[in-house]
Amino acid sequence: MNPLRTGRSLTAAAAAVVLSLTSVGFANAGVPRDHGEDEITVGIKFDQPGIGLKTPDGTYTGFDVDVATYVAEELGHDPSDIVWKEAKSADRETLLQRGDVDFVAASYSINDERAQKVDFAGPYLLAHQDVLVRADDDSVKQPSDLNDKKLCSVTGSTSAQNVKTELAPDAQLQEYGGYSECLTGLENGVIDAVTTDDSILAGYASQDEFKGKFKLGGFEMSNENYGIGVQKGSDLKEKIDTALRKMVADGSWDAAVEKNFGPAGYRNEPAPEIGVVVK
């Protein structure tokens, strides 16, 4: 028997097995297959209950996690091979521009300034800016009541700036590294109100440790169209849009909303039309 021929046969057989595996379902994961890599890296929030949360046991939960997992599967990647990377609000564009992540699904509101730096698939959720205050605080009945209040949001978020420039110019803006820090400040009385999207605030308010301590103001101060960020000019945008349309059509979107927001009684908007940003 010719050893060289035998080696070639074994190599060909191994290649055939690999090709067979990659053609079935989501056997392979990683960046899109034409990149030739084994993993796909996705930026999410690590500290937003109901949206994107890294739990003490090292698992990840939340609506953005479920959306990103569905999209990754539609791109041909197994969930077990997704590498989750923390994408803080101030870092999202940088992560994409440097190629540290393949896409970002991190309560990432689409706006003109960001769209100059990255491309957005979606939107896949329409949220509204709101405020969270202590349950016994009846002093904030409308957005203008935030004047002279200590208002907290996170560095890089548009939420606090929206309030300060348009609704309550005399609010004392405090920017922290994460919403968990804002919640601690609110609980301790150092902060009077926390502002961000109602979906995020509802997730925090529903946590066991915070139940009964906070309440939503119920203000719809802005439309926040959550999109999935990709590098400028990336062909992933169209592929992700296709995946999102399928997620809505097959009922997976509704299931993810109920799973992540239902326990908090959050009244979500219907699934937005992919490609249409609500102003």
What whole-number distance in Å separates Cα of residue 240 and Cα of residue 94?
20
Side-chain-side CA neighbours of residue 135 (13 Å): 7
Higher pLDDT, 112 or 156: 112
Residues 182 and 197 in one domain: yes
Work out the pLDDT band at 91, boundaries 50, 70, 90. very high
Any domain includes 146: yes
Residues 175 and 214 in one domain: yes
Residues 114 and 134 in one domain: no
Average pLDDT value for residue range 90-98: 97
Work out the pLDDT band at 265, boundaries 50, 70, 90. low
What whole-number distance in Å separates Cα of residue 121 and Cα of residue 137?
39
Residues 216 and 85 in one domain: no
CATH of the domain at 259: 3.40.190.10
Q: Which residues contact 106 (CB under 8 A, 6 or more apart)?
A: 43, 44, 45, 52, 64, 87, 89, 92
Residues 115 and 232 in one domain: yes
Residues 219 and 234 in one domain: no
Any domain includes 104: yes
pLDDT of residue 37: 61
pLDDT tens-digit profile of 30-43?
A: 333 344 467 999 99
> Has residue 2 got a pLDDT over 60?
no
Domain count, the chain: 2
Residues 64 and 150 in one domain: no
Instruction: Compute the mean pLDDT over every residue in the chain, rounded to the nearest whole number.
Output: 85
Question: Of 61-75, 152-166, 215-229, which gets the smallest average pLDDT?
Answer: 152-166
Residues 233 and 253 in one domain: yes
Any domain includes 50: yes
- Both tokens of 240, joined, read 């992700």
Residues 121 and 137 in one domain: no
> Has residue 87 got a pLDDT over 80?
yes
Any domain includes 277: no
> Has residue 226 got a pLDDT over 60?
yes
Cβ(117)–Cβ(129) under 8 Å? no
Residues 207 and 246 in one domain: no
Any domain includes 20: no
Any domain includes 144: yes
Work out the pLDDT band at 222, boundaries 50, 70, 90. confident
Any domain includes 237: yes
Residue percentage of the chain with pLDDT more than 70: 86
Sequence-distant contacts of 159-167: CB under 8 A, at least 24 apart: 159/129, 159/195, 159/196, 159/197, 159/222, 160/195, 162/129, 162/221, 162/222, 163/129, 163/131, 163/195, 163/221, 167/143, 167/221
Residue 248: give the domain boundaries.
Answer: 29-126+225-264
Residues 230 and 122 in one domain: yes
Any domain includes 14: no
Residues 74 and 209 in one domain: no
Helix, strand or coil, per DSSP, at residue 152:
strand
Quote the pTM value.
Answer: 0.76
